[in-house]
Amino acid sequence: MVTGRSVARSEHPSRLPVFVLIAARSLLRNRRRSVITAGGAAFAIAAYVFMYGFFDGFAGQIIDNSTGYVTGHIQVERAGFRRDLASELAIGNPRVLLTALRQSPNVEGAAPRAQAQALASSANKSEGIMLYGVDPVAERSITFIHRAIVQGTGLEAGRDRDIVLGRKLAEKLGLRLGEKVIVMAPAANGDLGTAAYRIRGIFAIESSSFDGAMAFITLPAAQSLLVLGDRVSTVNVRLTRRDQLDVTLAQVRSALAVPGVVFTPWPELLPQVEQMVGLIRVMRGIIVGIFLVVVALAVMNTVYMSVAERTREFGVLMALGTSPSAIVRMVLYETVALMVVASIVGYALGAALVFYLGRRGLDLSIFFKDYSSIPGLTGITHPKVIWSSILLPGVGLFLGALAVSLLPAARTAKLDPSRAIRHA
């Protein structure tokens, strides 16, 4: 005859595999409920992966577009320049700074700029603009305006009487390709610089705040207009890895300490974009929190129903000497099995959907057509899976499901074996 004490002694060497098998058998006993629960959790996980991919891709596009229009990821400038855009606050001897920046780690490109607020005039109308003098070759490593040309061509070195401007700006001025525009801007010597340029190209981007107010000429043309000599207003930098902004910023500040020169990151250059990205992250956190609650409640409900149906079985096990901690572990094994299956299926489906839409693009232009004033906002969104972004919440989701299953597991461990055996 086998006593409860001998069972208690003999269970120890094979305790883990035995209770794992019992937990698996319990899940298979009611396949429909297990499939529904695991399926529901997998759907929630897939939805959470998709939402993370959507928000990460959406926010990344806004940042890349905004920094790709003009600013780059870092702008090197004289302290106070952005406040007044004063031509006298120009940087002297920019070649040394450019060479050092281009040799810095994680720097993809650096380009000199001459920048000023100016007045563009046609025969019928005048508009305030932001005028940029750029090196056509170096600029291509910083911005993608040259790829947004819809009429004509981009700037070329040596063509110092050409200008490229946004389509909305051209419409405001009533100008077409090949026509002349008069530009006036305050020069560094206190005079008013004036020059006529012929429209060589017209670009079009989705952001009206840029498309309707930006114009580009060559750097020598801008230096002549603003009487800068060989000085530049700013040096703009694009990084190979945007996520390493803080590290790179600290490195260049330390290595290239120039009196009066500051290194400004894109969040300070584009505060509106930074605020929108922050809002997106808050929304993402709220949605993930909702998914966490839904999955946790579904798992807890399943565990409660499972242990309620098996009260008699647990009573027999405890009467044979099974410890309360072993009962708790057995219930947790069931939760682990459910969540492992749900996680595998959910992550696979969610990642597949994100990869598919990431290549094809998700057309949301109908929702964003009235928000063209927001810099970098685009109608076609490409979701993107960033594993470092979704794994930690996934672990939290898994641990949350285990945590809520502890309550029914703990209640089961407190059962009175004699009463549980008589449970109908």
| DSSP for 304-341, written as a single string | HHHHHHTHHHHHHHHHTT--HHHHHHHHHHHHHHHHHH
Residue 109, pLDDT score: 92
Please say whether the beta carbons of 393 and 53 come within 8 A: no
226 plus 300 within the same structural domain = no
Question: 0.95 exceeded by the pTM?
Answer: no
216 plus 126 within the same structural domain = yes
289 plus 244 within the same structural domain = no
Residue 72 lies in a domain: no
Which of the listed residues 224, 259, 294 is the one where a domain comes to its end?
259
Residues near 3 by beta carbon (within 8 Å), at least 6 away in sequence: none
Residue 162, pLDDT score: 95
96 plus 243 within the same structural domain = yes
Other Cβ atoms closer than 10 A to 257: 9
* Strand positions, DSSP E, 173-213: 180-186, 192-203
Cα angle 170-171-173, degrees, rounded to a multiple of 5: 65
Residue 218, pLDDT score: 96
33 plus 103 within the same structural domain = no
243 plus 129 within the same structural domain = yes
Compute the chain's Rg from CA coordinates: 32
172 plus 203 within the same structural domain = yes
396 plus 348 within the same structural domain = yes
Which of the listed residues 202, 230, 259 is the one where a domain comes to its end?
259
Please name the helix (run of DSSP H) or strand (run of DSSP E) that holds residue 150, with its range, or none. strand 149-152
294 plus 389 within the same structural domain = yes
> Residue 261 pairs with which residues in a beta bridge?
78
- In tens, the pLDDT along 293-337 reads 877 777 777 777 777 777 777 777 778 777 777 778 777 887 888
Residue 367 lies in a domain: yes
Residue 70 lies in a domain: no
Residue 69 lies in a domain: no
Number of domains the chain contains = 2
Rounded Cα gap, residues 355 and 335, in angstroms: 29
Residue 142 lies in a domain: yes
55 plus 85 within the same structural domain = no
**Alpha-carbon separation of residue 108 from 64, 175, 218, 263, 355 (angstroms):** 14, 36, 21, 16, 26
Residue 32, pLDDT score: 77
Which of the listed residues 259, 287, 306 is the one where a domain comes to its end?
259
Residue 113, pLDDT score: 94
Residue 62, pLDDT score: 85
Instruction: Give the residue ranges of the chain where pLDDT is below 70.
Output: 1-30, 365-379, 420, 422-424
Residue 75 lies in a domain: no
Structure tokens at 350: 């969610």
Rounded Cα gap, residues 55 and 253, in angstroms: 31
φ and ψ at residue 149, rounded to 5 degrees: -70, 125
Residue 269 lies in a domain: no
Please say whether the beta carbons of 264 and 82 come within 8 A: yes
162 plus 44 within the same structural domain = no
Residue 268 lies in a domain: no
85 plus 59 within the same structural domain = no
Q: What is the residue range of 414's domain?
A: 4-64+274-421
